[in-house]
Amino acid sequence: MDSRLIVLLKRRRSCFGSKIKVLSPAKINLYLNITGKYPGGYHRIESIVERVSLFDRLTIELTKNQSIDISSNIISLNSKRNLCYKAASILKSKLSIPYGFKISLNKKIPIGSGLGGGSSNAASVILGILALLKLRLEEKELFEFGQDIGSDVNFFLSQARFARLSGRGELVEDLKIKKTYQHYIIWPGFGISTRDVYSSKRAKLTNIFNNANILQYALGKGLITLLKDNIYNALEERACLVSKDFIQARNLFFEKNISAFMTGSGSAFFTIDLKNYHDPESSLSRIKKIIPKKWSLFRVQTF
């Protein structure tokens, strides 16, 4: 599969030892609304997401044994609970792949940040293995694999720059927007549990607010003011209920009049500017001055 994600591909005649290096990008939610619930408690969502140039990096190698070995620069991710392992295991089982895999994950996307790192890792493992083995799947079959792993995985499998998600997040519509946006992603040094945010009982979420169509139009036309006015995340109030640290981080931006928006279920924030468009409210110098040194700041753009 041709992909901008593939950095290096080395195939050996014997197959074993063949290796691929794959980028695993982050995403930001420009719009996220809860429109209902499915039986069993899963939330029905509507979201507009953008793929951005903050990357984890994966190396996948074919091995003679049948095992799947995971290693990472983050010790807690050296586990079968890692979505990389789950993705490789599902693919190996359903396609009857007679090889093992050695997967190395260099993690840069903060964990528990709402940037989709785990889902992206799983998708990049699937795309990498398929490219390594010269296998091609129809989109429908590819998305069935993704749906079995996690809600955001299909967005990353689609390789869309911008997409509209629905269902539990597994239904993907490529918006085919050509504009490129630049952002600062600000991570306040702590994660928030997605499960805790979604299971919070005290915040009321409704489907009354729905400006997704306006936001999509603004994205396509590059209308910055209209775009900022319609960025929305229904989970933000729930994140405040779950984390006092998050409240303090959000209040810091409010106090300094910096337009920063939460992505996913938190804890990361992002600013939004058109490429080559300077917004003094969210300039690099202003952000650096106000955020604590332990926080992380990433300059990214649409990827």
Q: How would you write 221-246 as a 3-class SS string? A: HCCHHHHHHHCEECCHHHHHHHCHHH
Instruction: Give the DSSP letter string of 185-223.
Output: EEE-S----HHHHHH-SSS---S----HHHHHHHHHHT-
Q: For residues 50 and 216, is the Cβ–Cβ distance under 8 A?
A: no
Q: Which of 21, 27, 86, 107 is catalytic?
A: 27
Q: Which of 21, 56, 86, 152 is catalytic?
A: 152
**Does residue 152 carry a catalytic annotation?**
yes
- Closest among 8, 9, 11, 29 to 113, alpha carbons compared: 29
Q: What is the DSSP secondary structure assignment for residue 42, as one 8-state letter? A: P
Q: What residues contact residue 280 under an 8 Å CB cut-off, 6+ apart?
A: 286
Element (H, E) at 171: strand 171-174
Whether the ω angle into residue 158 lies within 30 degrees of 0, i.e. cis, is no
Answer left, alpha or beta for residue 155, where phi above 0 means left and psi between -120 and 50 means alpha: alpha
**Residue with token string 């079968």:** 80
- The letter for the amino acid at 141 is E
Q: For residues 51 and 303, is the Cβ–Cβ distance under 8 A?
A: yes
The set of catalytic residues is 27, 152
